[in-house]
Amino acid sequence: MEITAKDLATALGGTVEGDPEVKVTSFAKIEHGKPGQLCFYANPKYEHYVYTSKASVLLVNFDFQPKQPVEATLIRVPDAYAAVARLLKLFAGSDNKQRRHRGHCRIACSARIGRRVWVGDFVTVGKHSIVGDRTRIYDNVTIGDGCKIGEDCIIYPGVHVFSGSVIGDRVILHAGCIIGDDGFGNALQPDGSWQKIEHLGNVIIGNDVEVGSNTTIDRAPLESTVIEDGVRIDNLCQIAHNVVVGKNTAMAAQCGIAGSTRIGEGTVLAGQVGVVGHISIAPHTTVCCKSAVIGNVRKEGETLYGCPAIDQKKYLKAYAKFKQSAED
């Protein structure tokens, strides 16, 4: 990567203040910026670094008004955070070699592989599976029979996509995640033993979804576990059978969602949130870290905290009283 401030501004729809011909070759956090690097400023608590950073170029919002002289060339954009996200995606994709590599792979004759698909070593693609155009499949990936993978997907090493799974366009599956394995279904027998319940359904993942490393999404017993469009799931999460995760929901690391739960669109689950099975969470709910949702959430837009999770303000008031009583 080597690009001038002028070309960056053109790509981002921004304006340049300073030397338009200065070149950058890499990215850095604003506190670590060095000559030849591009940084961005979006959080007010980092403003002091704007005046001390040695970076050659800084992305800033249109409305930023510096209080001191700034050495770096500024590129003003509507949203600096969104702009750097676009740049990172652009340059990550610029190194992608569009090639098909089938050495040391096992691809069924009945599988349909799209145009400009990149396939790494030791990849297995099962019978009658479909892989869309421009998808990248890295080493040691297993795709079962009858799967459908959309266009422009990225499937990182060690991912396992079980038979019958349906994955939309522009989906990113990070290393080691498991899509469509059996759910945890067992029936207690009269003698105290457990009888396994077979899972014959599948997993359906919409468009523009990202699933973190070592996350598991279980197949349904009869129908589908559904992850709708635009969902973001962090590393080490567990999505059980028959769950429906509404579009544009975000879920941080180590969340666990029990079976047959419906999560409304735009919901945010912070780290280590647990959700019991067979309940519904209203759209645009926020659940704070380490909370446990044990009943239906019917009101949209609530922020919940605690175990069991209740309205955050009520929880904090109750905790203050609890702490005060413990000190008396």
The DSSP result for 154-222, as a single string, is EE-TT-EE-TT-EE-TT-EE-TT-EEEEPP--EEE-TTS-EEEPP---EEEE-SS-EE-TT-EEEPPSS
CB neighbours of residue 111 within 10 Å: 19
- Catalytic, 241? Answer yes
Among the options 160, 174, 199, 241, which is catalytic?
241
Residue 235: closest CA among 209, 214, 249, 205 = 214
Place of tokens 């670094």: 49
CB < 8 Å & 24+ apart, contacts of 86-91: 86/12, 87/8, 87/11, 87/12, 87/27, 87/38, 88/27, 90/11, 91/1
Catalytic residue list = 241
